[in-house]
Amino acid sequence: MIADIISKLKNKEISALELTKSYLNKIESENPDINAFITVTNDSAIKEASNVDDLISKSENLDELFSKMPLLGIPLAHKDIFSTKDVKTTAASKILEDYIPVYDATVVSKLKSSGGISLGKLNCDAFAHGATGENSDFGPTKNPYDKSRVAGGSSSGTGAAVASEMVVFATGTDTGGSLRNPASFTNTVAIKPTYGRVSRYGIFAMSSSLDSIGHITTSAEDSALVLSQTAGFDPFDATTSKHPVENYLENIGADIKGKKIGIVKEYLSDEIDSEILEKTKSAINIYEKLGAEIIDISLPNSEYALASYYVITLSEVSSNLARFDGIRFGFDRDKFGDEAKRRIMIGTYALSAGFYDEFYVKAQKVRTLIIQDFKKAFEKVDAILAPVSPVMPPKIGEVVDDPMKNYLMDILTVPVNLAGLPALSLPCGFSSKGLPVGIQLIGDHFSEKNLYNLGYNFERISK
């Protein structure tokens, strides 16, 4: 918990340098096997930690200092699609193997200003294309709970690094489940904020109308603290909202008695793994014990969400990857991996003359219907509870060569992105084989504070 670390730093029970070195040592011992990091920034991290210790030692009012810099001294890492000044940023693709940005992404800058210490850049599916982490040109990330299995994707390194305690928290992106999926597979907590809640500036775009910038932590409380630092309007990103940023920690432990939680009948079909269904129903029972009212709801257009999502996503991917031509930076396009090439070809086809109306426009119409479904649902409920993944973490190599199986792993998460809604992924137990299982709480736009309240109360009972 971040609060515990901050308390120890304030009381001089541990120094930022000692803390940072302990996490760097963990990376040195664990990462060769797990492959969560692409780049480790030892020297700069140690320098930053020393500066933090100087700041603490010279401060006359530590409460005021930590109030201004709530993440002071906290070790973190960034998914390798976040631009980091003077630090290699590859997007896990050989086409950018030697690319070093000259500026920081807005989220990177905000976390620096909050006092966080970056330990490096994390592995992911190349350009965030995938649900298992196996599309990385630098090798797959392994699941710390079973190293023969994937850690989820595309933010595979983000989930694995937090789960194996190589960092306190880590950033990532969620376009169709890319944070919630790894969190579910690694027994961690992920937030996919409302679209536009957190700036996308300086982060390689996958699908510009769907990408959400979030993070993975070990608790809802930590997640709330981090979001309070990253959220907000950014003049460099026209899609960010000026909606006020709430104090997500305020009343996080308040009683949830009387809150209405919706259960989507379409999300609990027989196609979902039986143990995941069992754990989801156990989570529903916990909320009932906490005094929440459980209400059955329907999202009838969910069955079309995956088809709509992939038409829109691949179309936007084909556009966003057009800039990678090897002229201004990076290498030639022959360095693109198979999945990037596949997405470029399908997306270009969907946008081509004669097919634009048939595919892209129709997909956008379906997206509108999905948004309307959620709007009707939130007239009745305060949040929706659902599984994150329909399957347990696959074995490495099990689905990566079957695009359809790979894409179907996102079936329960993509509707949230299509509607631009926030969702919080929480651990809810383990399978008979010891594999983590996660649930997601889905909220109306800008209802992150409510999700954290629900998540905090669930953790209090379920842990």
Q: Which residue has the tokens 């996490």?
A: 23
Could you confirm whether 94 is annotated as catalytic?
Answer: no
Share of the chain above pLDDT 70, in %: 100
- Region 86-107: mean pLDDT is 97
Which pLDDT tens digit goes with each residue over 133-160?
999 999 999 999 999 999 999 999 999 9
Q: Is the pLDDT of residue 414 over 90?
A: yes
- Region 186-199: mean pLDDT is 98
Would you place residue 404 in the very low, low, confident or very high pLDDT band (cuts 50, 70, 90)? Answer: low
Q: Which of 154, 155, 223, 315 is catalytic?
A: 154
How many Cα neighbours within 13 Å face the side chain of 140?
A: 24
Q: Which of 79, 110, 112, 449 is catalytic?
A: 79
Range scoring the smallest mean pLDDT among 109-113, 301-305, 408-412: 408-412
pTM listed for this prediction: 0.96
Which pLDDT tens digit goes with each residue over 225-265?
999 999 999 999 999 999 999 999 999 999 999 999 999 99
> CA 237, CA 109: separation in Å to the nearest integer?
14
Q: Which residue has the tokens 């022959």?
A: 334
- Region 32-40: mean pLDDT is 98
Could you confirm whether 22 is annotated as catalytic?
Answer: no
Which range marks the domain in which residue 282 is found? 2-462
- Region 55-80: mean pLDDT is 97
Share of the chain above pLDDT 90, in %: 87
Q: Which of 93, 155, 164, 178 is catalytic?
A: 178
- Region 19-23: mean pLDDT is 98
Q: Which residue has the higher pLDDT, 407 or 87?
A: 87
- Region 120-125: mean pLDDT is 98
What pLDDT score was predicted for residue 338? Answer: 85
Q: Is the pLDDT of residue 64 over 90?
A: yes
Which pLDDT tens digit goes with each residue over 164-185?
999 999 999 999 999 999 999 9
Q: Is the pLDDT of residue 131 over 80?
A: yes
What pLDDT score was predicted for residue 270? Answer: 86
- Region 301-307: mean pLDDT is 95
Could you confirm whether 178 is annotated as catalytic?
Answer: yes
Q: Is the pLDDT of residue 322 over 90?
A: no
What pLDDT score was predicted for residue 328? Answer: 78
CATH code for position 33: 3.90.1300.10
Which pLDDT tens digit goes with each residue over 229-240?
999 999 999 999
- Region 33-58: mean pLDDT is 98
Domain count for the chain: 1
Q: Which residue has the higher pLDDT, 409 or 210?
A: 210
Would you place residue 331 in the very low, low, confident or very high pLDDT band (cuts 50, 70, 90)? Answer: confident
Q: Which residue has the higher pLDDT, 463 or 172?
A: 172
